[in-house]
Amino acid sequence: MVSRRVVRVERHAKHQHIVLDDGAIVAVHFRMNGDWELAHAHDPLPSYARIVFATTDGMRLCLVDSRALCTATYHAPGAPPELALGPEPDALTAGALWDALARRTGSIKTVLLDQRVVAGLGNIYVAEALWRARVHPAHRASALSGRQVQALVRGIKAAIADGFARQGRYRAGLRDRPFRVYDREGSACTRCRTKVERMTQAGRSTYWCPGCQGRRAGR
């Protein structure tokens, strides 16, 4: 790959797409601790440089990753990588989620963790979103009502907003706001005072309130 110009860099959830002027794409994923390091071309090469781009103005961009978990793949013009990622939470609509859920089998908790349904939604946010929407984690994904799907979209966005607020408080050295249901097994639900329970679904812990998320219709 020589003498190519970078047209733009796109972010797709945790993937970066470096789009070149001939339409080829270099798809990069940092995984655990990869990062870009910019230096002059005559500086010593970083110890864990996995990829090196030399620029025409005498600079060098290295993908540095001490654990060698990052990935970078070259995709020829006209053959873009297949990400198959769903919409990001802030772009999620009830209609899109409804369509995605209708095609899925399995519990709503497990389906929401699938990045093809919603991109970048982790175990904590799924538990928090289901609690906010009053949906049982084991509810069959395809059997949710329209109202439940709408509540779930609101719940996902609220849980993400809460997560950002939590990060801000953490950085400012303020006391953490507790999660609504995640990691609260045995504590009283803040909404109905029922004891929060924990179960395992697809190998991951799920926290939920049998009081206000009690109905597991559609199983």
Task: List residues near Zn ion by CB under 5 A.
Answer: 189, 191-192, 194, 209, 211-212
- List Cβ neighbours of 165 (8 Å cut-off, separation of 6 or more): 177
CB nearer to Zn ion: give 77 or 178.
Answer: 178
Give the residue carrying structure tokens 């597991």.
216
> Shortest approach of Zn ion to residue 199 CB, angstroms?
15
Sheet strands side by side (includes 35-40)? 35-40, 59-64, 49-54
Q: How far apart are alpha carbons 149 and 97 in whole angstroms?
A: 7
CB nearer to Zn ion: give 156 or 196.
Answer: 196
Q: Pick from 119, 115, 120, 117: which is nearest to 101 by CA? A: 117
CB nearer to Zn ion: give 71 or 187.
Answer: 187
> Shortest approach of Zn ion to residue 190 CB, angstroms?
8
Q: How far apart are alpha carbons 197 and 201 in whole angstroms?
A: 13
Q: 3-state class of 77 per DSSP?
A: coil
> Shortest approach of Zn ion to residue 189 CB, angstroms?
3
CB nearer to Zn ion: give 98 or 207.
Answer: 207
> Shortest approach of Zn ion to residue 9 CB, angstroms?
44
